[in-house]
Every structure is written in C-alpha cells, then in structure tokens.
Amino acid sequence: MNATAPIAPPPPQHMRALARANQVRLARAELKRRVAVEKIEVADVILECPWEAHSMAVAELLMSQRRWGQTRCHKLLARLPLSEKKTVGSMTDRQRRALAAMLTSADRGGAWSAHPASNGQPVCLPTNSSWLPRSPCSR
C-alpha cells in the first residue's frame, strides 16, 4: 500500500493577487506612518526606494509628511518638473537626487519656498541688527 497525503492545490490567482495587494497596502500604511512621525525621512525613502514605495506615487509619499498638502506638493514637483503621479520606482537617478536635495535643504534650516522668485532655493531672512552674525545665506 502506497499511502500519500493529498497535495492541496494552490489558491486561485485572484486570491494570490488579493493577498499581495493587502500586503503592499499594509506595508505602505506603515511607511507613511513612519514618515508622519519623522522616524524616516522622505528623502531617504526616495533615494533608497524600498519595495513598498516602488509603485507609490511621489505626491502620495510627500503628502504623508506633516504639514504637506496637495498645494505644497504640487508647487515643489513643478520646480523639477515632475508629475505628481510619477511612481517612486520609475524616477531616474537624477530626479531622485534633485528631489532629495530639495527636501534635505529644508531639513537643514532653510525653509523650502514655493515662491517663484526663490527658484526653489531655501529662503533666508535678512538680519537688520549689526551685532548679529551675517546669515549664511547672504551672498
């Protein structure tokens, strides 16, 4: 007698797709939570491009930060120029570096400005007091 255990057939393709979509959705939600509480920087996510962010829209990732809405996101991406619907995984290295540089310049003390006259550079306010050191942004 040759007794073998019956082999269960693999789940149907649509069930595997649903399971994968749920896995990606949960991983993205966790990534967005980590970005919102500033455990991870958006610039790092853009440069490293983890699997959960690979097919995520750039605008969706940017708006997961605190105080970032649709308008601020749109104005920043218009400077590069980069579509809001572009996925993080489809960005070129040049686009990744440019966007990460704009985001990290705001983190280093200069506030990124969406004003057209600023040309996407950090905005520095002039100092009127003679006893204060000159602003590092004055040229």
Residue 109, Cα to own-chain centre: how many angstroms?
19
Domain layout of the chain by residue ranges = 17-106
Architecture of domain 17-106: Orthogonal Bundle (1.10)
Q: Could you tell me the CA-to-CA distances from 90 to 69, 75, 121 in Å, in that order?
A: 22, 20, 25
pTM of the model: 0.68
Question: Tokens 């393709």 belong to which residue?
Answer: 13
**Which of 42, 40, 33, 34 is CA-nearest to residue 101?**
42
Give the tens place of pLDDT for each residue, 39-75.
999 999 999 999 999 999 999 999 999 999 999 999 9
Q: How confident is the model at residue 3 (pLDDT cuts 50, 70, 90)?
A: low
Task: Tokens for 23, please give them.
Answer: 């896995």
